[in-house]
Amino acid sequence: MTVSQLMDQALDCYAAGRLQEAAGISEEILRSHPDHIDALHLLAAIACQQDHPEQAVEMLKRAIAAGGAHPEVFNTLGMAQMVQGNLEAAAESFALATRLNPDFSLGHDHLASVLRRMGRFQDALASHKRAVASSPRSARAHCNMGQTLLAMNEPARAAECFQQSLELEANFTEALLGLGRALHLQRRLDDAVAILRKVIELTPRNPLAHAELGDALQSQGRFREAKVSYEIALQLDPVLIRARYSLGCAQAAAGDHAEAVASFRRVLCCSPDHHAALHNLGKSLLSLGQVDEAMDCFRKATALNANLLSGMASAVAIPGSRKADQKMILDVRRDWAARLAPDFPPAFIAVPAIRPPHQPLRIGYVSGFFHKRNWMKPVWGLINHHDRSRFEIHLFSDAPESQLSCGYHRHPSDHVHDTSQLSNGDLAGLIAATRIDLLVDLNGYSVPERLPLFLRKPAPIIVGWFNMYATTGMTCFDYLIGDAHVILPGDDGFYTEQLIRIDGSYLTFEVAYTVPDVAPPPCLESGYLTFGSLASQYKITPQVAAAWAAILKACPDCRLVLKNSALGSLANRLYVQRIFADLGVAADRLDLEGPSEHFEFLRKYDQIDLALDTFPYNGGTTTTEAIWQGVPVLTFPGDRWAARTSTSLLRNCHLSYFVAGGLQEYIQEAIEWGRNPESPSRLAQLRATMRERLRASPVCDTATFARNMENEYARLCDVRCQQQSRARDGIL
């Protein structure tokens, strides 16, 4: 048999997939003809397929040295170098192939692919265009151009390429998959889902198709269906990290944070530097109350990818971290603010107007929660009692005015600005144009995305109140308003703002909407005390759970009621049950319940005798609602503002005896309440008069609170005007 015949036989074997047989024949040829170019080329192609790129490169260099400087040889060399990860060398080889044959479509296509991997998108696109020009009826060439356009974030142009590919090959699954992704990115979600379901019909065992479908379903908010798609993808390919990560995201979006934690941990086992998985693991851990562990995740994610998201998450979470102190809270928030500031330089250096005595001062309030009646009780208590002869009120609301119906008594002179569609820059412009004298932020770190607004300095005086329970760390805030219970005399050094301690409680409130009547304490019928907390799960840290478990173990007949949005998930309820089981408390002593409509939510207090506060992040709204429903709250003052909020409320409503001296006293007092046979009668007497006592107490004297706040506002404006006058006199 001639060498030519042997080579034909080797090629036939290769085409039939009999690689070992093809390799054997090629080696036989090389024994008699060591520089046979085609045999060397074929052996190199086989080595590439068998994941031996080093052997392939050696064979191909021998072929080139023997005179085989052909486009196809350089093309195969480029592919071997790509497998090695040597992208620069691969690009050079593909470029040589296309220079040898400018009409070599496959070479142009491969060059484009390696350029895309190198991030040289414009060069890649130029190569794709040459590939398509050389082979306009190649479905693959059109499809690959679409992939590069996707990488360039041009989904509309990518979709056109995929559609051209499909016109040439109707069931080309890679083009269908790309089209589904392009439609998804264009938010044509129904079309994307339909295309991706077609891909799955054609290739039901294609894990990428199931993962892409999961992504599209997740974007539609169909989290349960998305989870099913990701789970199928992972059954088909257990190490498909993108599906595992997206599954975690879907679980978190559905509120199943305990499941999400497990998914993100598995991603990190395979890819420890996956910063997005670290960030989202931190978010889910935070939602479950694992604050310190969440903070560790955010720090690691920030170190891996110095974007602002994980730094912002740290700044949001830090007041609830047991490991943090006031110095650390200041450092973390100041660090995030410093990294934020360069992107948002001051756009308006607002100068306060010296208004005539008869002209009201313009006060602006910024909030994303004006429509939340339960959260706004302190806010409406202030705003409804403002003296409109002295103050012109502007509400900058991220909710439409039509939703501000509960609690707010609209005054004819008030101005409500719908800011829901405004960027921070546009909102800053609106505030500056309105010539606000004093701007009050009611969001704090509850809406951290709005904080850059204040870096623009849209008003001459910027004040934080209501949702502030630590420093902002931002020098653009001039003042924070608290009280003497939450800001102790030695605390000023832990704030970037000047502190104002208002008389009474800074969270003085009024309930101006329908709530359930106060019910008798349930222990009158049950014969045992039921402790409870309706606080958000992220406040129920391991230390809180340990304290509550100690109380329950010392009071074997007592029970614990927990109700919050996180407990709407079965996985999360099981997670909480495991925490308490590890602390020696059986599941049958816990009543765990998910969210409900607000009126029904408040009726849960009918089943609670004594509420237990969380720490170091106390209840605010939770505490006000508990005492309004007749349920006293047991707390103790901690080492920071966030840990003293309930103390402020209770000491201003004649409930100081529910403020323990410290953690151990808190636990011991709860135990005494649980064991004392006189507790039911004492609680019944207290509960019967609770609302009347509250209405007569300073904590509900919102009219006096409004006068105190107004006097502070006027004083701050006077101080600033005097500063401006002195500055002008100095210049003159």
Q: pLDDT, tens digit, for every residue of 485-501?
A: 999 999 999 999 999 99
Residue 708 has a pLDDT of 98
Task: Kindly report the length of the chain.
Answer: 732
Judged by average pLDDT, the poorest of 221-235, 531-545, 634-648, 712-726 is 712-726
Residue 728 has a pLDDT of 66
- Per-residue confidence at 6, pLDDT binned at 50, 70, 90? confident
617-660: per-residue pLDDT in tens?
A: 999 999 999 999 999 999 999 999 999 999 999 999 999 999 99
Contact predicate 650/624, CB 8 Å: no
Residue 141 has a pLDDT of 95
User: What is residue 438's three-state secondary structure?
Assistant: strand
Cα dihedral: 442, 446, 452, 456 (round 10): 0
User: What is the C-alpha separation between 614 and 493, in angstroms, rounded?
Assistant: 26
User: What is the C-alpha separation between 291 and 297, in angstroms, rounded?
Assistant: 10
Give me the residue label for tokens 């690689």: 19
User: What is the C-alpha separation between 286 and 445, in angstroms, rounded?
Assistant: 15
pTM beyond 0.85: the answer is yes
Residue 201 clears pLDDT 90, i.e. is over it: yes
What's the Rg (C-alpha) of the chain? 34
Cα dihedral: 570, 576, 582, 588 (round 10): -70
CATH superfamily of 523-700: Glycogen Phosphorylase B; (3.40.50.2000)
Residue range(s) occupied by CATH 3.40.50.11380 in the chain: 361-502
Residue 27 clears pLDDT 90, i.e. is over it: no
Look up residue 357 and give its two tokens: 């005595």
Sign of the CA dihedral running 686, 691, 697, 698: positive
Instruction: Say which CATH topology domain 1-136 has.
Output: 1.25.40
CA angle at 11 for the pair 40 and 6, rounded to the nearest 5°: 80
354-392: per-residue pLDDT in tens?
A: 566 678 999 999 999 999 998 999 999 999 999 999 999
499-529: per-residue pLDDT in tens?
A: 999 999 999 999 999 999 999 999 999 999 9
Residue 351 clears pLDDT 60, i.e. is over it: no
Residue 528 has a pLDDT of 97
Residue 32, classified by CB atoms within 10 Å of its CB into exposed (0-12), middle (13-18) or buried (19+), is exposed
Contact predicate 569/255, CB 8 Å: yes
- Per-residue confidence at 732, pLDDT binned at 50, 70, 90? very low
Contact predicate 469/641, CB 8 Å: yes
User: What is residue 653's three-state secondary structure?
Assistant: coil
User: What is the C-alpha separation between 210 and 142, in angstroms, rounded?
Assistant: 23
Residue 255 clears pLDDT 90, i.e. is over it: yes
Class of domain 276-343: mainly alpha
Nearest to 716 by CA among 506, 459, 488, 366: 459
Nearest to 132 by CA among 124, 123, 141: 141
User: What is the C-alpha separation between 693 and 687, in angstroms, rounded?
Assistant: 10
Look up residue 563 and give its two tokens: 């109700």
Judged by average pLDDT, the poorest of 72-86, 156-170, 179-193, 454-468 is 72-86
User: What is the C-alpha separation between 14 and 17, in angstroms, rounded?
Assistant: 5
Judged by average pLDDT, the poorest of 61-70, 251-260, 579-588 is 61-70
- The DSSP output letter for 415 is E
Contacts with 295 (C-beta within 8 Å, 6 or more apart), sequence order: 282, 314, 317, 318, 321, 323, 324
CA angle at 620 for the pair 377 and 410, rounded to the nearest 5°: 15
677-700: per-residue pLDDT in tens?
A: 999 999 999 999 999 999 999 999
Residue 323, classified by CB atoms within 10 Å of its CB into exposed (0-12), middle (13-18) or buried (19+), is exposed
- Per-residue confidence at 349, pLDDT binned at 50, 70, 90? low
DSSP E strand stretches across 534-577 = 559-563
Q: What mean pLDDT is predicted for residues 472-493?
A: 97
Contacts with 687 (C-beta within 8 Å, 6 or more apart), sequence order: 518, 519, 520, 521, 630, 631
Residue 730 clears pLDDT 70, i.e. is over it: no
Contact predicate 83/48, CB 8 Å: yes
- The DSSP output letter for 359 is S
More confident residue, 390 or 73: 390
Contact predicate 542/412, CB 8 Å: no
The percentage of residues in the chain with a pLDDT greater than 90, rounded to a whole number, is 79
In Å, how far are 78, 672, 698 from 631, measured between CA atoms? 74, 17, 18
- Per-residue confidence at 435, pLDDT binned at 50, 70, 90? very high
Q: Cβ–Cβ contacts within 10 Å for residue 726, how many?
A: 10
Class of domain 361-502: alpha beta
Judged by average pLDDT, the poorest of 21-25, 66-70, 301-305 is 66-70
Residue type (1 letter), 476: C
Residue 193 has a pLDDT of 98
Q: What mean pLDDT is predicted for residues 286-291?
A: 98
Nearest to 706 by CA among 463, 376, 388, 437: 388
What number of H helices and E strands is found in the chain? Answer: 32, 12
548-606: per-residue pLDDT in tens?
A: 999 999 999 999 999 999 999 999 999 999 999 999 999 999 999 999 999 999 999 99
Contact predicate 451/462, CB 8 Å: no
Cis status, amide bond into 136, omega within 30 of 0: no
- Per-residue confidence at 350, pLDDT binned at 50, 70, 90? low
Residue 241 has a pLDDT of 97
Residue 285 clears pLDDT 50, i.e. is over it: yes
CA angle at 339 for the pair 338 and 344, rounded to the nearest 5°: 85
Residue range(s) occupied by CATH 1.25.40.10 in the chain: 1-136
Residue 540 clears pLDDT 60, i.e. is over it: yes
